[in-house]
Structure 1
């Protein structure tokens, strides 16, 4: 975390220095204020979009008292403000957290509640609370903001150091995307590491790793079954429906406790470490 965080900070400082070289030293206050605004806007929009994309609703305390009681107990132990609890129909058993330590939200899918037993569900919820307690959502948003800032500076550097013609315009787009992708590799490395940390914190909360390990196995199997069902039902769905579902997956998958990434390239750009390694660590 320290090494990767230092590298990201280095990328940001290089971007600010490059902006000062291209635009002059007077751009420094604008760069700093603009960076803060960009990260803040991304944070607000990201939280709103994630909740809206799954149609999250308040989790009834009358219908699910045990979940609320468990969250309240964990938050007391951690001296943490109780996050808002919401439920959504995601089509797959999953859960995710958004927000910061004093104003967090945990979303649980109905499919997850139906699939897991009480101890397994508590392991998953403890994992999501750990993300809020460790400020992982804010950390990831900051990393993504740095990637965006570096990409923007790279694009303008190409435009202002070239002849500013149509060729430079397209070159700036290509350079910006490549630079952002490269920086995001480090951000994604942080994301994968934070999943291990959240798993370890959840293991400590519930006293052992086996319940969360079983939950991850069931979630993984549920996601695989949902993918097979979706493929079999493709011919019965309209193109607009498929496009909408894909957008929902892209917006939320990075936040969820499980991500369906597989293959070497996908593992490199995945927000989550391999499921089998997480389960192995929980059972070790």
Structure 2
């Protein structure tokens, strides 16, 4: 394979993993917009998506689609539990945001330990969504799973855009993100919107995990690296801007793939953190954030 084909292959791989980072980053943005909290338990939902789907398929013999839907529901329930049991008591006591952020990190660790107890430490994977062979474009092989990831991500982005702009619930969540006190005066149940934000965020993380697991393994301890990647994607795009987080995720995935191609796998995280530092130094508001 010539150099151009290698670069194109890495580019396709980077876009694929970048879409997953983008979905995780959007999960960060949904919660941040509703509460101002950075939810570092987001990576746990990615783990739950892949892990629960695998367990439901192998241990309970559910079909692929039913297992995936079940995993997304489980993640949503866990997300609601994190909000109700961890975040809500602190929120009601008006503690500092920093304390709530640390609490979500602790929740991430607890969820990982529970997964270890319930499922064990053996890595798990999922079969590809379809058994079709890779699509050849010139000298470049395009994995069908990568196309599934890209298509699913675009559909989810479009659905979220419609939800937030046209539905009453979506508009209420946007109102809370703009001014929570004014939203209360308008009769919007802010606490319910916060719970819903955690549920949506958890489900987005689970979908990301389900899409990604056929291309690599999942285990009880994979959540933190994905949480960090999603957080970086959100920073690059402009924290609190879902579309920016998605674009930031793709940029991060491409940068990492090119770093692996040129420098080796050991420089994957170096490239990600270097990109984060560049944005923090020169454009802290992100790609779509205001320059003010």
Q: Same fold (TM over 0.5)?
A: no
In terms of fraction of residues, the more strand-rich structure is 1
TM-score by length of 1: 0.30
Max Rg structure: 1
Which structure is higher in RCO with an 8 Å CA cutoff and minimum separation 6?
2
TM-score by length of 2: 0.29
